[in-house]
Structure 1
Amino acid sequence: MAHRVLRFISDFFVYETAKSVVVKSWSVGIINRVVQLLIILYFICWVFMHEKGHQLRDTGIESAVMTKVKGLGKLNNRVMDVADYVVPSQGGSSFSIITNMVITANQTQGYCPETDNNYNCTNDDHCVKKLGSNLGNGIVTGKCLNNSDGTAGRCEIEGWCPAENDKVLGNPMNEVENFTIFIKNSIRFPLFDVTRGNFPSNIDKTYIKNCYYDPVNDPFCPIFKVGDILRHINQSLDNINDKGGEIGININWKCNLDYNVTDCNPTYFFTRLDAAFENSAASQGYNFRFAKYYQSADGTEHRTLHKAIAIRIEIIVSGNAGKFNSVPFLINLVAAFTSVGLATVFCDIILLNFHKGADEYKAKKFEEVSGVVSESANNRLYEGSQMSIKALEKKSNDSGTFSIGRQDPSNQ
């Protein structure tokens, strides 16, 4: 056991130093240079394909969005303008365009039958089970209001009466397809103190009044037709009019600031944000309710309830900017040149295991030397080294290296 421990210690405390062996072999030499060349070419391609990896990046984009919708439509025999169908009206990055509505007029606080089919009843017992429930249009009182013809009645509710019947929809506002959305987006990359807008400053009012966004012909026009947006996401107005939906207008800024800042421009793409729920049995589309309140002459409070089916527009701004940075470039450059040494490892594997001169190469590459050398042995080593150097001078032009393989014709 002690012998093994001593052997382990002696094997552990050793020093290894590199020894150069020049192998004059056409096949191995060609493989070595080809592998090195491939590594260099790979690095060059990697630099061009991953140019961003050598840039100082700014992903903290600051953004402001202002919107304006224009267009006239007709809903339930009423002409609708922007004040009627855009909610909210502040012109921010998120708004809704109403396409259809269920209107319940002249509601007052009181008692009335529920309109939801889940509150059918034939006697009070059915309604008592739902006493206090407020999942419908009001709070259930526990009383059943039977119909005069003997058919099933409805549970009585306390709330705004008459109760809303949201199953009765009017004809949708088909003019929505021709409505336009004006988008004004300004962004800033704080790291580089660069500010840009989504359309050139030299655009005049005449151009704005006549252009519509087109990714090929008018990529910088800030006016978008609703119908064009729907076509970009492979949707028709019929698909979204009845139940509503949510659409994303994505403004993406990717800027290489090594070039002129005027080349920093946005690209637009469009998505159906509620596509994941398109076939949902529980909830489809998008709708919301709002009310308009007023008082009658006798002081009674009234309201008109609107259930709005709408297209919700979300404007999403993202992006980043970059400039060349020497630090990651130098790191990658050093890594590439270090990787060139992999060619040596690959060629060593071939020489040590598959080459016909493997044994000779092993003998030259690996040599063990004891750390304790006597004076006489030292003299012999000195003399031997002088003889070796002379021999090497005859066998190789590479100073301080062993040479095996092809012989130099000048030495013959």
Structure 2
Amino acid sequence: MMTIKVNRIGYFHRSIQFVVVLYATVYVLWYAQGYQDYDNARGVFYVKVKGYGQTEGGVVYDAADIVVPPLEPESVFITTALVRTIQQRDICVSSSKCVNDSGCVSLESTEGLILSTCNKTSPITSTGYCLMNGWCPAENDSVSGTDYLHHLDNVSLFIRSSGNYLAFDYSFSDPLNPVPGRNLFYFKDLFKGTQFTQDNCTKLGCIITLNIDWTCDLNKGNCLPTYKFYGTNLGFNYREIIYHNSTTRELTKIYGLKLLVTVSGVGGKFSFFRLVIALGSNLALVTACTLITDLILLAWFRGTLQQRKYDHFGGEATNPQTDNPKPMSY
């Protein structure tokens, strides 16, 4: 073994060893918690809605009315506006404009079967509307002030989640009773942290996602969830039909807030096996520091290394490439 005394190389060697040790202690063990084993949470939830809404006409809708359908997988829907149209099977005007009968020929519509007849309100008008065979009158697709539900701020949602970490045999759950700020939310709270406003969502409908995150350090015992709302889509509605008989029906276009709920999380717990792996891998990095130093010696200090090698064996340094060797005698 040969010892080479070069201060710059020594300082460099100790410096990279210090960086590796700092990386192992600060990042791997402290920040990344490399001594822990991890498992993904598996959870479920249920939602209870209470409260009411009221139209400008004084019609009150309670929780059973505004939560439709009453049971929906992984989500809940809260009605904010309703547009009703009473329809009968008949012939009536459509929303397709025309100038004469030829403008209605081969015309297609989602409202019903367009007839080749242009209906004008008076002979002096230049345009009219094509007649159609279908459900009449055509659906009222515009939302007016009388269609909105007011006083929705009193609507509350009790969201209780529970689950477990199977790898650690650890279970978690929300309290059985509502706790404001944790598992009890009011309608206005659903828009916090999203790009939507309550007014826009009431008029157009919207989809909001709630993520319940149960990420926690199981070494510390009790875990508490965090709740975060995300605006997914502005604009959401669907239609509901009630048939009175074969020729009469009630068509309702329903706007509202669709709340999607997800339960996620990552649980970490101390593992001696993980600790040994983390320490062993970083010890290997410390050992590699010597190899890195040797490579730098060979690349940048070849001349100095060669000279120290000759001096190491004592006597006058000779260079076999330049000095003439003495003849050997027998």
> What is the percent sequence identity of the aligned residues?
30
Quote the offset at 1:37 in angstroms. Answer: 2.2
Task: Tell me how far apart the structure 1 counterparts of residues 164 and 241 of structure 2 sit (CA, whole Å).
Answer: 39
Partner of 1:145: 119
User: Is the CA contact 2:4–2:305 (under 8 Å) kept in the aligned structure 1?
Assistant: no
Partner of 1:230: 191
Distance 1:103 1:150, change over 3 A: farther
TM-score (norm 1): 0.68
Partner of 2:319: none
Structure 2 SS opposite 1:29: helix
Task: Tell me how far apart the structure 1 counterparts of residues 163 and 311 of structure 2 sit (CA, whole Å).
Answer: 66
User: Is the CA contact 1:100–1:308 (under 8 Å) kept in the aligned structure 2?
Assistant: yes
1:167 is aligned, of 142, 146, 156, to: 142
Partner of 1:289: 239
User: Is the CA contact 1:93–1:315 (under 8 Å) kept in the aligned structure 2?
Assistant: yes
Partner of 1:249: 210
The answer for unaligned runs of 5 or more in structure 1 is: 1-19, 214-220, 275-283, 366-387, 392-412
Distance 1:304 1:70, change over 3 A: same
Task: Tell me how far apart the structure 1 counterparts of residues 123 and 180 of structure 2 sit (CA, whole Å).
Answer: 59
Quote the offset at 1:180 in angstroms. Answer: 1.0
1:56-75 residue pairs with structure 2 within 5 A? 56-59=37-40, 61-75=41-55
Task: Tell me how far apart the structure 2 counterparts of residues 315 and 191 of structure 1 sit (CA, whole Å).
Answer: 24
| 2:268 corresponds to 1:268 | no
Task: Tell me how far apart the structure 2 counterparts of residues 44 and 330 of structure 1 sit (CA, whole Å).
Answer: 13
| 2:152 corresponds to 1:176 | yes
**Greater Rg by CA:** 1
The answer for unaligned runs of 5 or more in structure 2 is: 315-330
Q: Give the root-mean-square deviation of aligned CA atoms.
A: 2.7
| 2:72 corresponds to 1:122 | no
Partner of 2:69: 88
**Larger strand share, 1 or 2:** 2
TM-score (norm 2): 0.83
Task: Tell me how far apart the structure 1 counterparts of residues 170 and 277 of structure 2 sit (CA, whole Å).
Answer: 28
Please give the per-residue CA displacement for 1:171-222, whole angstroms capped at 9, x wherever unaligned.
Answer: 43232233211112121223333222123x5x5xxxx3xx521xxxxxxx31
Quote the offset at 1:92 in angstroms. Answer: 5.1
Structure 1 SS opposite 2:204: coil
**Larger helix share, 1 or 2:** 1
Structure 1 SS opposite 2:219: coil
1:12-411 residue pairs with structure 2 within 5 A? 20-45=1-26, 46-51=28-33, 53-59=34-40, 61-77=41-57, 78-90=59-71, 93-105=74-86, 107-114=87-94, 116=95, 119-130=96-107, 133-135=108-110, 137-151=111-125, 152-171=127-146, 172-199=148-175, 203=177, 208=178, 211-213=179-181, 221-233=182-194, 235-260=196-221, 263-274=222-233, 285-295=235-245, 301-352=247-298, 353-354=300-301, 357-361=304-308
User: Is the CA contact 1:250–1:316 (under 8 Å) kept in the aligned structure 2?
Assistant: yes
User: Is the CA contact 1:21–1:364 (under 8 Å) kept in the aligned structure 2?
Assistant: no
Distance 1:268 1:364, change over 3 A: farther
Please give the per-residue CA displacement for 1:265-322, whole angstroms capped at 9, x wherever unaligned.
Answer: 2110011011xxxxxxxxx511111122224xxxx54221111121111112112223
Structure 2 SS opposite 1:32: helix
